[in-house]
Each structure stands twice: as C-alpha cells, then as structure tokens.
Amino acid sequence: MKKRKISFFAIFILLFFSIAAYPFDIGGTLDNSTSFVTPKLPSATRPVSQSDKLSLWINEAGKHLRFDLQGSYTFSLERYYLFDLDTLDFAGQFLLRKNSWPSFSFDLGRLYFSDFTANILANKIDGVQLALGMPFLNVKAAFGYAGSFQKPTSSIIMSKSDVADRLNEAELWAAKRLVGLLELKFPDLFLRQDLMFSFIFQQDLRPDANLTAGGGRYYSQYEGAGISGTIVPLLYWDSFFYLETGKTYNSTTGGYDSIIAFLTGGGLRFYMDKVLYSKIGLKFVYSSGDGDYRSFFEGNTDKSAHAFLPIARPAAALIFTPQLSNIFYGEVSYSIKPFSFAQAAWLKNFQILLKGLPFFKSSAGPISEPGTNTSASTWYLGTEADLIINFRPVSDIGLGVSGGYFFANNGTDGAFLADQQPQQFMIRGELSLSF
Amino acid sequence: MKQAFKTWVALIIVFLIYIAGIFPAEQATIKEMSGKVTYQPPGRNWMDAKPGTTITEGTIISTGFDSSAILDLSTSEITVKALTRMKLEELIKSDTTASTSLNLQVGRVKAKVKTVEGITHDFKLKSSISTAAVRGTEFEYDGETIKGLSGTVTFSNIIGQTRKVGAGEASATTGVSLPVPVEESKKKQSDVSPYTTTPSTPAGGGGIVQTSVTSYIEEAAGTPPTTPPATTSDVTITITWP
C-alpha cells in the first residue's frame, strides 16, 4: 500500500512537471497547522497536533472552458503520509443566445458541493454540476458520489456503520453515498434581498453485508429556504430554515423510522469601514434534537426521529466543535484591522477577531461530543471565547494565531462530567506559503 | 416635377432641423487634464486634447500612462483615469430629459451623476461584459468591477442579472457570472485569511481540512478517538474566469 501511494505521488509529480511545460498557470502552497490543547480529553492520545500540507495546482482558463487540477501530500503526527487529489475540475461557461440569456455552465470532476448556508452540505464530491442563468433566476443542479474519497479527507459520517468503518483500518474509503443538490436563487429580488430555495438529498448505498451490528442505512432529504441581503447600507443579514426528512434505522424494532427534523438560523453583520474596518456580528443556529434518542447515531426509540443531522460538519468554534445536531448556539463577534490606515502596506492586512459562543442542547437527547452527564437537568453545555489573529503581510504569506478557552458546564448537575470534559484551553498557529 | 422635388428636399431639411432642435446633441468639455490625452471624433484622426476641448457624440477619448482627464457633461462629470479608452456613444439633452451612454473599452473611470430637478437622466456606462446604470450618484467602474461612492448604482451582467450597489459597496462580474453580492466586498475589506486561495481552492476555503470524528467513535463504539478536532478556514470567493 505504501509503495502504491509513493508510486501515485511519483506519477503525479512527473505529470505535474510534464504538464507544466505547457502554457498552463501552475503553482503550489505549503500550509502548516500546529495546535496545543490543555488539558487534553481523556480520549485524546496527545495534546499536540501538527499537520503540514503541500499542494500543487494547475489551472488553464480560456474564454469558455477552464481546467483546474490540484493534488496534495499531507503529513500529520497521526498519519505520516496522505496523498490526495483535492480538485479535478473541467468547466465551461456559455451563452445559449448571442449576448443574451440564458447562460449555461458546467463543472465535471472532483468538485466542492455546497448549499447556500454551507451548514447542510459543504463537501467535496465526485460528480457534475450544472447551472442555468436567467435575468431573475439562477438554477444550480449537482449530483455526485461521495464514496471515492479516502477516509481522512471525508467528513461525512451519518450512521453507526460509518463510524465502524472509521475504526476499521482495512477500510480505506469513505461511506458510499449519492448526493444531489438543486438550488434556485433569485438575486436582488426585492429591496436588495436574495431569495434562495434548496433541495438536497443523500442516499446511503451501503450493502447489507457491510452494515454493523445494531446499525442500518441513513437516508435523508433537506428542503430549505433562505433570504439574505442589505438592511441599510453597511448592515447585512441572513436567515434560513431547513426541514429534514428521510429514514433512520431503529435498533429496537429492527425497522426504519421517518425523520422529521429542522435547522434554522440567522445573522446580522455591521461593517464600520471608518473604524479601522471593524465588523460586529451576531448569529444563531438551532438544530432540533430528540429526547428519546439512546445514542447519537441511529438512536431513535419511538416512531419518528426528530434529531437533525446534516451531511456537512461545520465548525463553529476553535475547541468545542459539535455536529449540528441537537445543538443551539449563538455567536457574538467583533473584528478590527488596527493597522488599516498605516503607511506601510504590509501592515494593513492584520486582523484581530474576538468571538463568544454559548452552546446549549436542543433536547434531552445526546450530542456528538463525549462526556455528557446523562442525568443532568440543564441543557447549557458551556461557552467558548476565542481570540484569532490573522496576518497577511504579502500575498504569498499568511499567518494565523488563535487561542480559545472553553468554559464547559461541568459542575454539579452540569451538562458534562468534569473528568470527561474539563475546561480547556487551546492555542493554534497557522502558516501558509504560496509559490 | 423639379419644383416638387425641391419642395420635398426643403421639407426634409426643415424636418431634420426641427428634430435636431427637439433633441439637441449634448457636448462634453474637457474640464481638466494631466499627462497625455487624445481624442478621435467620428471619421477623423486622433488629436491631442487640451483643457476646454469640446467632445461630441461618437468621439473616443484615450488617456496615456499616468494621465487623466475630467469631462464635464453638464449633468454629470466623468474622470477618465490612466490607460483608459472610452467612447461617448450618446449625449442627448432636452429641457426635461438627458440621455448619456458611454462605452468603456478599457481602463477605469469615476462618474459623478448629478440629480437635477425637473430633468430625468438616463445615464449608462457600459463595457463588453456589464452595464452600470445610475441616477444621482457617484461610482468607480473598470468594466468588471464597480465601487459605489454615493447613491445607488444598478450593476448588471450580459444576461441582465442585476445588483444594486450602494455607497461604500462594490460588486464584480465576469460577464456571465451573477454579480457578486455587495457584502462580499465588505468581507474582503474587513476579513483576512491566513490561507492562500488558488484557482483550485473551492469556495469552502484553503488550508488543511481535517475530519473530526473523535467523539463519534468514542460514544458509538466505545474506543478512544485518535484525531483531535480541527477547523476549516474561512470561506473565500474566487472569480476564476478572466
């Protein structure tokens, strides 16, 4: 396996430099991320995490057609080598009538699929994406397969069998799922507001023989609507609602139960350009839970399941990053660029960001994080405070230093058990070079 | 027969003079300039411009390196920036209406469109891929990107999809792509990402993306997790079409 991976990398390098002889645009990036958390969770092997990723990309863009290719090698303390094809995109964009609508575009290959919130679907998928542009409407349709990714590069985990695969070192590939997306966007429809409608589905293709004991398949569809735009100049907002339907396995009955769950959220952002490009942000996200769930995955015990489970796994904070299921959180943030008006150009791109996020459960049911106190009466999980500093002195170098403290609610009758989820501090450094 | 022909010609000439009187062609004047500025009236050769030069409909104006010109169109003022070529396609003004259409072939201009009481002003600034239509506002435009300075500009792409761009906001299009939401321009000004965006970077951002499966594994399978949680970097919009 190691020989195969090295051969693959060697072939990629040869291919890269051969193609580089042609008039393509080529380049690369080297990214480093190092973090230290204290105290570490009982389940973690070490308090330090370190990853380095070398990416090489090729891009060729003509009038109507475009080709993007990016491969990478990632080193981490947990995995010394991970070679991956990050992007392979053959794309085109045309007008179906001369100088008039509609426009048609396509993307084919290894693509990034995302819904308008990036909370339901924000994943790389192998497939095709088509879009049609008309004066008042943009239509996007995408369809693809998620099972051709190496496990570490896929974040799609939706069932007990998916979890079992993660533990099985003999299993190399991510869960076999079909994913589809249809999105309608009405830009600037009224009063400078965009209106969006979205339909997403994922179909679990796991064969019966690969189902883990006590687990089944997880099928879900997501129907959503959202609105975003300008309230007054410099003040912007967005709001969304998603309904999840589908089927989840019930280990008690051995059958499948219907899913009726929802996710909603919104945010406000106020930009103060004259105050050193400051920004104030307010945000909330609520995902429904189910009090009779016995476990986070496929834990339903009654007739219908009400715990929302998205395909993506967005991270809200630095330390505490639960899956958006049975979770309600708010966010208050403030950012500033203190050297915006400095004479030296290299100082201008320096940003300080402060965030405060209180987290709650939406129901008595479980969340994705371990160490919860199942007999607690409170649903308040804790609050995280993060300080993030980002600096880009020149276009080819980026630096980031982040620090966070999670004030876990682990006291008497707290949501967490003190020895399982202590108060935690994390610091992370990031460096990005491009060439 | 000859007399009838002469009568018809005279009537046509009178009619044309009458029409010209209803819609008199507007003229622009070069109010200020610096560096090398040239202009080409319709059907004529390029000539050097100077302050006070009159620019008529159909004229192309061109500025050189480190040069600029300010055109006074009575109801609007256009600053033609360096290395810019622009054609005055239509300049018509009457007692109640003013119609201005400018074609930006290359470069950048700043436009200040005045609101004059009693006059309806239809002002359009076009490029090969987008159009900015304004009324009583000020903005900067380079054919792909528009920056609002005051008032509201309607910015549209080739297929007629529009964005309203207010003061302090910006939008851009490649011609076929939907004009970028104006909040993205504010995010670009206020946010800094430590990760570099490449042509192959997806909209989800660059950097190192790691899956976070620790807790699932512990809770669902009862064994210790091995990978600490990680986060993705910020969302980045990349326009990849030239």
- The residue in chain B having the minimum alpha-carbon distance to the alpha carbon of residue A24 is B199
Residue range A388-397: mean pLDDT, rounded = 94
- Over the stretch B44-63, which tens digit does the pLDDT of each residue have? 999 999 999 998 889 999 99
* A19, pLDDT greater than 90: no
B222 by Cβ neighbours in 10 Å (0-12 / 13-18 / 19+) ranks as exposed
Per the CB < 8 A criterion, the answer to whether A71 and A5 are in contact is no
* Predicted local distance difference test score (pLDDT) of residue A118: 94
Contact call for B218 and A35, based on CB within 8 A: no
B200 closest CB neighbour out of A69, A230, A323: A69
- Over the stretch A220-252, which tens digit does the pLDDT of each residue have? 999 999 999 999 889 999 999 999 999 999 988
Using alpha carbons, list the distances in angstroms from residue B174 to B42, B110, B157, B201: 30, 20, 8, 18
A59 closest CB neighbour out of B199, B213, B229: B199
Q: How far is B241 from chain A (nearest CA, A)?
A: 7
Contact call for B217 and A391, based on CB within 8 A: no
Q: How far is B145 from chain A (nearest CA, A)?
A: 17
* A169, pLDDT greater than 60: yes
B202 closest CB neighbour out of A49, A124, A135: A124
Strands B138-141 and B162-165, sheet pairing = unpaired
**A251 shares contact with chain B (CB less than 8 Å):** no
Q: What residue has token string 């491009």?
A: A434
Give the integer Cα–Cα distance in Å for A155 and A50: 19
The stretches in chain B having pLDDT less than 70 are 13-26, 115-116, 134-136, 198-242
Q: How many residues does chain B have?
A: 242
B190 closest CB neighbour out of A33, A87, A337: A337
Q: How far is B156 from chain A (nearest CA, A)?
A: 9
Q: Is the peptide bond before B194 cis (omega within 30 degrees of 0)?
A: no
Name residues 136-195 of chain A within 8 A of B (Cβ): 136, 138, 151-155, 157, 160, 163-164, 166-167, 185, 187-188, 192, 194
- The residue in chain A having the minimum alpha-carbon distance to the alpha carbon of residue B177 is A133
In this predicted complex, what is the ipTM?
A: 0.83
- Over the stretch A65-92, which tens digit does the pLDDT of each residue have? 999 999 999 999 888 889 999 999 999 9
Give the integer Cα–Cα distance in Å for A288 and A301: 16
**Chain A residues touching residue B204 (CB < 8 angstroms):** 112, 114, 118, 122
Interface test with B, best of A16, A26, A29, A38 (most B CBs within 10 A): A29
Interface test with B, best of A103, A138, A347 (most B CBs within 10 A): A103
Work out the number of other CB atoms within 10 angstroms of the CB of residue B90: 16
* Predicted local distance difference test score (pLDDT) of residue B113: 79
